[in-house]
Structure 1
Amino acid sequence: MRRTFDDAHRWARLGTELVLEAAADLDDDAFAAPSALPGWSRAHVAAHVAANAEALSNLVHWAATGEPTPMYASPGERAAGIERGRALPAARLVARLRDSAGALEQGMAALGEEQWRARVVTAQGRTVPATEVPWLRSREVCVHAVDLANGVSFADLPPDFLTALCDDVVAKRAALPGPAVLLRAPEAGAAWELPGDGASALVTGELHDIAAYLTGRDAGPLTADGTPAPTLGAWL
């Protein structure tokens, strides 16, 4: 992985700023409009990001106290919480976004070196050190800032974050069935390979285009022979 703990924390702060800026001027009607995610309004995205901060705060509490505190009580409760959040008036939803992010940052700031090494369990069931929390948050806020569809694009995200994001997504996709794809971002000096079915398709583009494609936010740049990039399955 081409990232450090300090990188992840920096990206988490930046992504939080982007989310709050993208949400700040949205009224009730604007929040009810579609986001960049199929089937979700902007309010769904904002509620999800707020709930994520609260869930990651549970992991911070786990690391701080040693008391096992899952991110979510259950998948059903996670979904229900998003539904409750997306029904909030715009001002309250923005306040929840801001307050939950602030509480998470405050909790992380209070962790000591030993507490950061504590093992916690993510919503996907992975056991990781608490030092992964800033990366989990940076991935969440940076990508969903784009999903709010209010002026933020993948091109606005730092190249080092985009590289780390592509590393992360490729590692996850490599364990799943799908098409074989070679991905190249020449200007960034970066390349990735997705093992899979059939002959490898060569997909070349700007780093931000590759990241959007890998995360399922864009159909992707064309392959070397001018055909559309292979369709990828779900990422998370």
Structure 2
Amino acid sequence: MKEIAPTRDSFQEIAAAAGRLLSGLTGLHDTDVPKPSRLPGWTRGHVLSHLARQAPALERLLEWARTGVETPQYANRGARNAEIEAGAHRPAAVQLAAVRESSAHFQHVIETLPAAAWRATIRPFTGELCTPQRILVIRLRELELHHVDLDIGYGWDDIPASARQIILADVLGYYAEADGVPDFTLRETGGDVLGRFGTGGPVVTGSAANALAWLAGRSGGTGLTPAAGLPALPPWL
């Protein structure tokens, strides 16, 4: 699974993603919160509640790394879902404040985490053993993908190339280890091979943005060729 080093550049990548999200939320009204997001079954309020609560959940893993005391990200999936539901129906101003405050606190935590803690072994909710360097990828991925999911004018092409490259590598890494992935090659239009699975199968071609949308389960393959007969991928996460 993808990890990135805890450098000034990676910290800035996360801060910039949070800044783009917060900027996009400034015009949000109370009537916008209960409207559907692009995620089936989730309103915009659910997405915002998740973003606000995910930051402290990830901080629990960083505390595990810092102290050596096992501190799970969530007690269980039910507890995670209950947290999201509890905050999903709050007014827009409250939602925005929660996302802003949790993002700022998370930024402080990663920028002050001791060097030794970045080499510790932890286990996120998804089950893999990793170092806290993976938490940087997870937070960047969640900020960018859920910004698109909110359906507030931010699209796949708006994700900066530097962030998209990290997220795409993470999603491709997931499929490299997943069961039931069919043989295919993913190639960027006019460019490099993004990923190769197995030894045969079709060549799927398109922009990196459209490829990410498809791999992340947010698109049926819009902008990719062949338009018909794309491989059937197992669910991501």
TM-score normalised by length of structure 1 = 0.90
Measured in 2, the distance between the counterparts of 1:204 and 1:3 equals 27
Aligned partners of 1:158 and 1:166: how far apart in 2? 12
Q: Counterpart in 2 of 1:124?
A: 126
TM-superposition CA deviations, 1:34-72 (whole Å, max 9, x none): 111111111111111111101011112222222221111
- In the other structure, the counterpart of 1:168 is 170
Q: Which runs of 5+ in 2 are unaligned?
A: none
Instruction: Please state how far the C-alpha of 1:19 moved relative to its aligned partner.
Output: 2.0
Q: Which residue of 1 aligns with 2:101?
A: 99
Match of 1:22 in 2: 24
- Tell me the equivalent position of 2:219: 218
- Between the aligned partners of 1:4 and 1:181, the Cα distance in structure 2 is 30
Q: 1:75 aligns with which of 67, 74, 77?
A: 77
Offset, 1:190: 4.0
Secondary structure, in 3 states, of the residue corresponding to 1:193? strand
- 1:196-211 counterparts in 2 under 5 A? 200-211=201-212
Query: 1:192 maps to what in 2?
Result: 195
- In structure 2, C-alpha distance between the alignment counterparts of 1:15 and 1:33, rounded to whole Å: 23
2 CA distance for matches of 1:109 and 1:2? Answer: 16
Give the C-alpha shift of residue 108 in structure 1.
1.2
The C-alpha deviation readout for 1:164-218, integer Å capped at 9, x for no partner, is: 322221221232213322111135534212349xx61221111111111111111
Alpha-carbon distance, 1:101 to partner: 0.9
CA contact (8 A) 2:34 2:89 kept: no
Determine the C-alpha separation between the residues in 2 that align with 1:231 and 1:216. 11
Indicate conservation of the 8 Å contact 2:65/2:120, yes or no: yes
Q: Show the counterpart of 1:181.
A: 184
The residue identity in structure 1 corresponding to 2:197 is L
Paired with 2:4 and 2:206, the residues of 1 have a C-alpha distance of 22
- Pick one of 126, 150, 156 that aligns with 2:158: 156
Conserved in 2, the CA contact under 8 Å of 1:63 and 1:115? Answer: yes
Does residue 60 (structure 1) correspond to residue 62 (structure 2)? The answer is: yes
Instruction: Give unpaired runs (5+ residues) of structure 1.
Output: none
Matched, 1:233 2:228: no
Please identify which structure carries the higher strand content.
Answer: 1
The amino acid across from 2:170 in the alignment is D
Give the letter for the 1:178 counterpart.
V
**Partner of 1:183: helix, strand, or coil?**
strand
So what's the TM-score if we normalise by structure 2? 0.89
| TM-aligned CA distance change 1:114 to 1:2, over 3 Å | closer
- Equivalent pairs, count: 233
Distance 1:161 1:2, change over 3 A: farther
Q: Is the 8 A contact 1:59 1:69 kept in 2?
A: yes
Q: Which piece of structure 1 moves more, 2-11 or 95-104? A: 2-11
Q: Distance in 1 between matches of 2:104 and 2:187?
A: 37
Task: Please identify, of 110-119 and 36-45, the stretch whose mean Cα deviation from structure 2 is larger.
Answer: 110-119
Partner of 1:114 in structure 2?
116
Identity of counterpart residues, as a percentage?
32
Is the CA contact 2:4–2:136 (under 8 Å) kept in the aligned structure 1? no
SS of the equivalent of 1:169 reads: helix
Counterpart Cα distance in 2 of 1:116 and 1:178: 32
More displaced stretch, 137-146 vs 166-175? 166-175
- State whether residues 9 and 135 of structure 1, in contact with CA within 8 Å, keep that contact through their aligned partners in structure 2: no
Note the 1:135-146 alignment, pairs <5 A: 135-146=137-148
